């Protein structure tokens, strides 16, 4: 009951899993939210195998009732909430604006933006009860630093809106000793590409090719989920106690090149 407790959405793979493991290594108890039972169970098993504690929470973050239930389960089990990592998201459909269907737009908005809203809204009362805490929203360089991803209008809009949400809430939550920041990854080796559907890319692609890759600091190679997770762990810790309302790009210089 004395341990700090962190909620991580999209904890079954990629950045979410890496963040959950990194925070567990720092002594946090982890509430791992995901839509795939097998994946989040695997994350929690890895945490416990390494001597930590965790709870698998099956939920769709776009569903208000499921998110509230998951947060309630976590607090009932461990007594408090100190850190929230709002990571879950999809790339959705990338297509020309005049070909993008309303349902496709709504799908991306509901997971990436509404899901972030529901996660933060459900968590804030518990963070207040704990005397403060840290919220970390996983945004992207798309929509915040670069605008060249073919057809990614819905995705970029959600990522820009996440940063606006972070900056809007920073002052509101400061009086409650709650910090909120955004991490904005560039190209990272994750499975999010499985949630991407490209259509008519030839109509939206920007005709630029970087022969040595687009991530300068790694010689063109994508970053790792752990690169983002290390920043999340820092923002969750007291070492970042004077940082709030801030987007931080984790892209190896990619956004400056593009």
Q: How confident is the model at residue 206 (pLDDT cuts 50, 70, 90)?
A: low
Q: How far apart are CA 230 and CA 104, in angstroms?
A: 33
Residue tagged active-site, from 94, 105, 155, 249: 155
Distance of CA 165 to the CA centre of its chain: 13
Tell me the pTM: 0.92
155 flagged as catalytic:
yes
Q: Give the CA dihedral 121, 124, 125, 128, nearest 10 degrees.
A: -170
Distance of alpha carbon 113 from alpha carbon 252, whole angstroms: 25
Cα–Cα dist 124/180, whole Å: 11
Q: Is 146 helix (H, G, I), strand (E, B) or coil?
A: strand
User: Under 8 Å CB-to-CB from 43, ≥6 apart: which residues?
Assistant: 11, 12, 17, 20, 21, 30, 32, 34, 54, 56
Residue 216 has pLDDT above 80, yes or no: no
Is residue 183 within 8 A of residue 138, CB to CB? The reply is yes
Question: For 117, what's the count of Cα atoms within 13 Å in the CB-facing half-sphere?
Answer: 14
pLDDT tens column, 54-95: 999 999 999 999 999 999 999 999 999 999 999 999 999 999
Residues whose CB falls within 8 Å of the CB of residue 178, separated by 6 or more in sequence, listed in order: 124, 127, 128, 132, 133, 134, 135
Q: Is residue 3 very low, low, confident or very high in pLDDT (cuts 50, 70, 90)?
A: confident
Confidence of residue 215 (pLDDT cuts 50, 70, 90): confident
The pLDDT value given to residue 241? 96
Residue 188 — very low, low, confident or very high, per pLDDT cuts 50/70/90? confident
């Amino acid at each position: 009951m004395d341990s700090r407790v962190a909620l991580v959405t999209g904890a079954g793979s990629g950045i979410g899993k890496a963040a959950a493991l990194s925070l567990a290594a720092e002594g946090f108890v982890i509430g791992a939210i995901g839509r795939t039972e097998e994946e989040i169970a695997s994350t929690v098993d890895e945490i416990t195998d390494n001597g930590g504690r965790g709870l698998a929470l099956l939920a769709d973050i776009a569903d208000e009732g499921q998110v509230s239930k998951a947060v309630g389960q976590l607090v009932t089990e461990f007594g408090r909430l100190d850190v929230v990592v709002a990571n879950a998201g999809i790339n959705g459909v990338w297509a020309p604006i005049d070909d993008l269907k309303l349902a496709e737009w709504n799908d991306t908005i509901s997971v990436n933006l509404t899901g972030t809203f529901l996660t933060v809204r459900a968590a804030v009362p518990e963070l207040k009860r704990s005397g403060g805490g840290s919220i970390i929203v996983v945004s992207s360089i798309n929509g915040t630093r670069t605008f060249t991803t073919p057809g990614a209008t819905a995705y970029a809009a959600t990522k820009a809106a996440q940063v606006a949400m972070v900056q809007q809430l920073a002052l509101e939550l400061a009086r409650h000793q709650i910090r909120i920041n955004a991490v904005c990854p560039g190209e990272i080796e994750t499975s999010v590409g499985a949630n991407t559907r490209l259509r008519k890319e030839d109509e939206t692609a920007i005709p630029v090719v970087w022969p040595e890759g687009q991530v300068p600091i790694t010689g063109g190679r994508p970053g790792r989920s752990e690169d983002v997770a290390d920043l999340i762990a820092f923002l969750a810790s007291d070492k970042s106690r004077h940082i709030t309302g801030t987007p931080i790009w984790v892209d190896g210089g990619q956004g400056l090149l593009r």
